[in-house]
Structure 1
Amino acid sequence: MPSLRKLSFNSAIPCILSENSLLLPFDTVTTRFSAHMVLVLLRLIALLPLPALHGIGRVLGRCVYALPGRYRQRLQRNARQAGYDDPAFARRAAGETGAMIMETPKVWLQTAKCVPKVVSDTEHVATDAMAEGRGILYLTPHLGCFEITARYIVKYGPITVMYRPPRHAALEPVMEAARSMSGLNAVPATRQGVREFVRALKRGEAVGMLPDQVPGSGDGVWAPFFGRPALTMTLAGKLARQTGVAVVVAAAERLAHGKGWRLHYLRLPEPLPDDPQALAGLINQSMETLIRRFPEQYLWSYNRYKVPADAPPLPESVSA
């Protein structure tokens, strides 16, 4: 398993095989062999029971956190920004990140065994939105087990999600194995993928994306996130306004003792704001609401307050 330091969570289907998780200068043959071995390793990990995976992950996560470095500093800084400054909280959050990593192969490769472990107290939010027949835009932040969400939602009907292709093309078979599921349509994070999103929504289907990734190519506005301006994507808002669909924030809380997950749904109030910045702020506020419910399971180590080179100017009196 790659270390938490080298993990990239920048793909639309975040994974341990993302673009920065295998920094290997191998030739094509070697890389293909490595991809095959990684897939074998993931399949072996997926055989372990969920309680064992969560336990192992929490131990590994805390071990990595114990090492000084950028990962630890960013986790602490981002958690403090949200008001969680207890050192014990940071250690628990690091442990939950480890649990998320270790559960991912099982969710990918043994979906049929994982989905029955999902419960929800707010499922009516999703079913009511689906009954309207105008499509749903699901926004799933880096919270809890974000890989199980789309796989559970498939039971309502087809869902289209975005993914970022791995840097090494030979790893694509591994990603394909992870994405393989009836009713789950994975499209690349490109203009073609956005067009697929629009088509699915116009058919009254569901699409899913991560709203708390730092956008690039000028597709972002500054909006508050836990009291600090964060560059927030406008794509979600554009899709919602263009297609007139319901917008639902969803996150799967990891339950204790490996019992499974509790899926939380939160629908954005309508009508949605016309102003892109106001809509981005509403999305961030909705994510904050869910994160507050089980804050240790948010990915605080993600560089949420990054300032890309092509970002618009920061608001006055705000430092990067």
Structure 2
Amino acid sequence: MSGILPTIGLALLRWMSHWPLAWLHALGAALGWLTWLASPSYRRRVRANADLAGVSAADRRRSVSEAGRMVGEVPWLWLMPPDGRVLPRVRWQGAEKVDAAIAAGRGLVLLTPHLGSFEVSARAIVERWGAQQPLTVLYRPARNTFLRELEETARHRPGLATAPANLSGVRQMLRALKKGEMVGLLPDQVPPDGQGVWAPFFGQPAYTMTLAARLVQQTGAAVLVLCCERLPGAAGFEVHLLDLVEPLPAGNDEAAQVQAARIVNRTMEAVIARWPHQYLWGYHRYKRPRAAPGTLP
């Protein structure tokens, strides 16, 4: 039975991957509200996190549907044929910033918050620039074996590499940046203990990764914020390339790390304020970090 269920699940996802995106979004929105109704802890977290950020009740309700739509996109995105492309559905704002970094021969760190279609953003970057400069993304493998294998298969695309969230993954990203390539990570993801500092996020202390700043400091890479807005009516996506609210500090001591974390968090706050209805307010942003599997170089 344990081997049959994943097979049935994969067959179902493959069938759904051929659905129109509007159908998947409709199903996803319904699943989002079912999750809301079925999980008191999820409701509490969404409300608490959104209230801290001053999000309106209307935008908070919209975020429940948008979180479901993100899940609904999974079959379409992860099981897309090898020759399938997301670019025909993507509009761009700020693409010239990536062109400038590539022309200068610099590595590029892309910071993507838990907002909108962040999985689509990585695919769009690779389809547009991957042949010139590959992209390495940091990720945490799913605990479920079936989901982990599906993730790894889905993310295996030309120009796209994945790096595990541990010491070897950090070294992989450093090598990529030193070759002038691109790397991507989620700066609002809670890092392991010892790999972050406490910094305000919407007025509440949040354990914030120092990895982004260290990558920039050690390689001289450029840094941009990458957001993928989900357009209404399944009309596609708009990818935004944005600057930090201010440059990261040059130092690498504890004070500089805290300052960098504050800058990153203030940048995330500004970005989220533009699209509060597309942020994953159910993410446990304020949890205490888990134990670190290793130390950063």
TM-score for both structures, normalised by structure 1: 0.82
5 Å-filtered alignment, 1:168-247, equals 168-169=144-145, 171-247=147-223
Structure-2 separation of matches of 1:173 and 1:241: 34
How many angstroms does 1:115 deviate by?
Answer: 2.6
Q: 297-306 vs 177-186, which deviates more?
A: 177-186
68 and 205 in structure 1: CA distance in 2 versus 1, 3 angstrom threshold: closer
Q: 244-253 vs 181-190, which deviates more?
A: 181-190
5 Å-filtered alignment, 1:250-265, equals 250-265=226-241
Q: Does 1:295 align with 2:276?
A: yes
The residue number in structure 2 matching 1:49 is 20
5 Å-filtered alignment, 1:87-236, equals 88-110=58-80, 112-154=84-126, 155-156=128-129, 157-169=133-145, 171-236=147-212
SS at match of 2:86: helix
171 and 56 in structure 1: CA distance in 2 versus 1, 3 angstrom threshold: closer
How many angstroms does 1:234 deviate by?
Answer: 0.9
The residue number in structure 1 matching 2:11 is 40
Structure-1 separation of matches of 2:227 and 2:150: 25
Contact 2:101–2:222, Cα closer than 8 Å, also in 1: yes
Contact 1:253–1:261, Cα closer than 8 Å, also in 2: yes
The residue number in structure 1 matching 2:295 is none
SS at match of 1:44: helix
5 Å-filtered alignment, 1:74-85, equals 74-85=45-56
173 and 304 in structure 1: CA distance in 2 versus 1, 3 angstrom threshold: closer
How many angstroms does 1:38 deviate by?
Answer: 2.6
35 and 258 in structure 1: CA distance in 2 versus 1, 3 angstrom threshold: same
Structure-2 separation of matches of 1:221 and 1:67: 34
203 and 178 in structure 1: CA distance in 2 versus 1, 3 angstrom threshold: same
Match of residue 272, structure 1, among 249, 270, 295: 249
How many angstroms does 1:68 deviate by?
Answer: 5.5
172 and 302 in structure 1: CA distance in 2 versus 1, 3 angstrom threshold: closer
Structure-2 separation of matches of 1:136 and 1:167: 30
Contact 2:193–2:290, Cα closer than 8 Å, also in 1: no
- Give the AA of the match of 1:92: R
Q: RMSD in angstroms over aligned alpha carbons?
A: 2.0
- 5+ residue gaps, structure 2, are 293-297
How many angstroms does 1:252 deviate by?
Answer: 0.2
Number of equivalenced pairs = 281
Deviation per residue, 1:9-48 (Å, 9 max, x gap): xxxxxxxxxxxxxxxxxxxxx5444333332222122111
Identical columns (%): 45
SS at match of 1:40: helix
- Give the AA of the match of 2:110: Y
97 and 196 in structure 1: CA distance in 2 versus 1, 3 angstrom threshold: same
Deviation per residue, 1:72-94 (Å, 9 max, x gap): 110010000000142x3222110
- Give the AA of the match of 1:139: L
103 and 272 in structure 1: CA distance in 2 versus 1, 3 angstrom threshold: same
Structure-2 separation of matches of 1:173 and 1:295: 32
SS at match of 1:302: coil
The residue number in structure 2 matching 1:305 is 286
Contact 2:225–2:242, Cα closer than 8 Å, also in 1: yes
Q: Does 1:65 align with 2:36?
A: yes
